[in-house]
Each structure stands twice: as structure tokens, then as C-alpha cells.
Chains A and B, each alone.
Chain A
């Protein structure tokens, strides 16, 4: 067992696994990573199982001090890494020498992931190590000064670039299914939703993201609390839209005008502040078809990432090469 010392952690850093289900009826949302694809890619790139954990981070970054053993990390999502000052960028697998300082920052998006070849030891709650951030249940938040235990470290992976997802550009048009609380909106609000350009805002956390203007006023706000889902576009009394994400409240009294179709949810949540986003309606059957096609494409992509894993040259080879270089140097 070795450890990672957290030299500095931004305010939204936590341990996540793929999430939990079965407890929404008790007020427990799915949690898990806000960007599920980037998270899954980080795990696949280091040979971890899809049920394993990774560190999620956002603005404010993360600085790690490696312990006495070298190890290997994968960095994905909006994160980019620097190891002992050497710039690596994002979507990569990199070796971390013993005692090194790893600095990870989020750029061009909101959420980044760091997976470790081996295991990040973390607490489980209700069958998952995902952190429900507000309640601090599950694997837990990561704070400056924390010591994160690592187990089963495997440092034989070669440094590599990770293939980004097929549509690795900021999303500009997200597909939505209208409803389920459409009855709270008039034709004008529906027209604004389908024709307006909204903007990602800096007001986001693991529960959701507020989207900038135009306002969509509900015709009334007397809704009895109804269950909510991830991806819902929830409208408050001022007409402000929020996209609900991983740690969303499971029920609530604000109407949801529409729900973003599964593969587009996390891409909207990754939009950098000010990025424009428009919405186009599809029906429920189209939403299913889109979701299935995206899941199949993601599976193929994750399989390619796993297949691209390479061991770094063995010590023996490295020594031989070293020997040759040394021999040449003596000429």
C-alpha cells in the first residue's frame, strides 16, 4: 500500500465510481461521474474494471504528491496534467515517478478524471463508492492535506495518448424529449426552448448547471413535488433553466420542461462557461434509438482504448538500451 498526498484540491474534488441505483425512492440520486464517458475512458486506459473508482475534479485543480512507489495514471475529460513541471496535456496515460508532484487542471470544460493503474481505496455506501457530494456519503470528498490510499499498484503501463470520444468537440445542439411537466409552460415558452440559444454558466456543481438566458417563465408554480431525472431541464420561478446532473435532487417542486437525451447530458455539463447550446426536440422512440446507438459506439471506443494498452519496455530492454547509449557515449 502506498499513498497519494493531496497537496491542493479544488472545492469539487471527489472519489467516484460508476454510480448507484435503487435508492432514488429514499432521496439518493445516482451520483457517479458527471462526465461518464471520460470517467469510463480513464478506467479502461489503465486496465481497471468499469466498477472501479477514479478521482473527479473541477475548477481549482488538484496537486498530488506521489509516495515512495512509482505508479501510472490516466487523465481524461477536461483535465490536463503536469508531472514535475513537464506538460503532458489531457487524454493520456503517464508514469508518475516516486515522490513526483502531479498538477492537474481543468481547461476547456468543467470536469476531469484521474484513474490509477491499481486501485484507489475508498469507502462504499449503498453498494457504491461514488460520493454524494452534499451529504459526503460514499467514497468521499478529497481535500487539501488528505492522504489517499492506493492499492495493487501496477506501474508497467507505457505512457500513451488515449483516443478521445468520437464526438470530442463541445456540443452545440442537444437533443431533448419534451416534458414531463410541459403543462406548466405555454406555447411561447416552448417556442423559446426550441428556438433560443442558451449558454453554459459558471454556476454549476455536481447537482446541476444553471443555463443562461433567455427566460422561460412557467405559467404557474404550484406543482406538487414530482420525481426528477438526470438530464432534466428544470425551470425555477424566475424562468431560469438548470440542467440536472449526477447528484440531482430526486424529487422537487420546480417543473421540468424537457429532459436531455442520455448521450448529450454529460456533454452539456462539460460546456465551458459562455458556450452556446441549443435544443432540438425528438420523441421518446428517437431518444431510445439515439441512446442505444451511442452506447454501442461508446462500447467500441472503450474496447479500442483497452486494446491500445501497452506495457512499457521491460527493465532488461531499458538496461540494454541504456548500456548501448553508455557504450556509445564512451567512444
Chain B
């Protein structure tokens, strides 16, 4: 597998681009470089931001520069042992009933399946946390079965509560804020991906795996 291309992202960041498509092999290398940089941080490193095919390396431009950061990261990237097998697995309870699943019936209708079949399919997925984005705690989970991959709604809708479990295309997301969304809300979880009071405020690390488990409304 080829080495990442390093590109400047302004004065204070370098983007390690692993290229290719959204898949586990490319993403495993992103996670591996992320871990390697965390374990052996170059001087001036502020933080790293993993995404599907790239890792952003944010540094203090008063302390270091692109050349020094690349000189540190490139050898690490060249010797990566990319594996996601040891990723943490999170069991996420979901209620798919009634008011907890406001878009379930319409999503099932558009897919031409029964609501129960949609639920079964969603529960069967092997999900992986690829990255966070959009808003604090919004973790993008890949792995939605193709049978229930739906394009997002034409316009965003307001009023969904925190903990809404929603799908769009190959992605699934658990909301952490009451933000408008064009994704299909098919359930709700009592679990909080973002818990502002917790010692570890964010439940998932990029690379982690997620399995959904069906629960009743009393769990909410």
C-alpha cells in the first residue's frame, strides 16, 4: 500500500492523505497513524483529527513546521501495522417503537420493505466509527446494510431529540444535540455519545465498532 501524501493545510496543519475510497483498509491506516502520533508525539503537536481517508495533524506554527512534522510522521506511516481488530466494541441499545422512530414507516415504505425488516436489517449491520463531524459528538458510523441505504431527505427537519438514531446512505449517526437533520430517524437510544458531565465526554474513539441492540420504550 502506498504512503500517504502530506499536504499543508494553512500555517498550522498538515493533512496526511491516504487516498483511495472509503473502506476499512484505508481507514485502518488512518487510525494506525493517529495512534502512532499519539504514542510518539512530535514537538509542537496540538492534536490529530482522523477522517475516512485522511488524518489532519494540527501543530503550533510558532514551535514547529510542516517539514519537521512530515519528517516525524512519514517514517511512522511507512512502517504502520494497520489493524482494526482490537478496536473497542460498543453495544448501543435502540428503541424502534412509536414516537422513538418517527421516520421508520416512511423510510420502510421508500425502501419497499416492512418496518420490521428495516429494523432487522439495521440490527444486522456491523458498524464502525469513522470520524466525528458536523457538530460536537456527531460520530459517523459506516456499515449500514445496502438494503436500507436511503438518500437523505430533500430538506432538514427540526425537532428530533438527543439520542435519535438515524440513517442516510451507508451511514448511521446518533444525535448529541437537538439539531435539524435531513437523515431518517428510525429509533432512539438512551445512551449519550456526548455526556458533558462525564470524565470521558465522548463515548467512541474513531476506529471503534458499534452493535445495535433492540430495547423497549421503557429503556428510554
Please report A residues at the B interface, Cβ cutoff 8 Å. 21-28, 125-126, 132, 134-135, 137, 177, 179-180, 182, 224-227, 229-232, 249-252, 256, 259-262, 283-285, 287-288, 290-292, 295
Contact = CB atoms under 8 A, between A and B. Distances in A.
Contacts of B189: none
Interface stretch (B3-11, B73-81, B87-95, B109-117): B3-11
Contacts of B194: 26
Given A180-B9, A229-B12, A260-B10, A224 B46 contact: no
Interface stretch (B58-66, B100-108, B147-155): B58-66
A125 B9 CA distance: 27
A180 B15 contact: yes
B177 to A, nearest CB: 5
Contact of A22 (B9, B46, B61, B62): B46
Given A231-B10, A261-B11, A225 B61 contact: no
Contact of A135 (B133, B136, B206): B136
Interface string B38-70: 000000001111111111101001100111000
Which one of B10, B46, B53, B201 has the highest number of Cβ atoms from chain A below 10 Å of its Cβ?
B10
A224 B9 contact: no
Contacts of B67: 285
B58 A229 contact: yes
Nearest to B7: A180
Contacts of A23: 47, 136, 202
Interface of B: 7-13, 15, 17, 21-22, 34, 46-56, 58, 61-62, 65-67, 131-140, 177, 179, 194, 196, 201-202, 206
B7 A179 contact: yes
A159 to B, nearest CB: 34
A23 B206 CA distance: 12
Contact of B47 (A24, A251, A260): A24
A249 B134 contact: yes
A226 B65 contact: no
B54 A177 contact: no
Contacts of A230: 10
16 contacts: A23-B136, A24-B49, A25-B131, A27-B134, A126-B201, A177-B8, A182-B7, A224-B51, A225-B52, A225-B140, A226-B15, A251-B49, A252-B133, A259-B10, A285-B65, A292-B62
Contact of A287 (B8, B47, B132, B196): B8
B196 A137 contact: yes
Which one of A229, A251, A256 has the highest number of Cβ atoms from chain B below 10 Å of its Cβ?
A251
A229 B133 CA distance: 12
Given A22-B46, A25-B48, A249 B133 contact: yes
A235 B111 CA distance: 33
Given A24-B58, A227-B56, A229-B9, A135 B201 contact: no
Contacts of B55: 227
Contacts of B206: 25
Contacts of B65: 284-285, 288
A22 B17 CA distance: 21
A148 to B, nearest CB: 21
Contact of B136 (A26, A226, A231, A287): A26
Contacts of B140: 225
B49 A25 contact: yes
A28 B177 CA distance: 13
Contacts of A287: 8, 10-11, 61
A251 B87 CA distance: 22
B84 to A, nearest CB: 16
Nearest to B193: A26
A227 B55 CA distance: 7
A44 B13 CA distance: 28
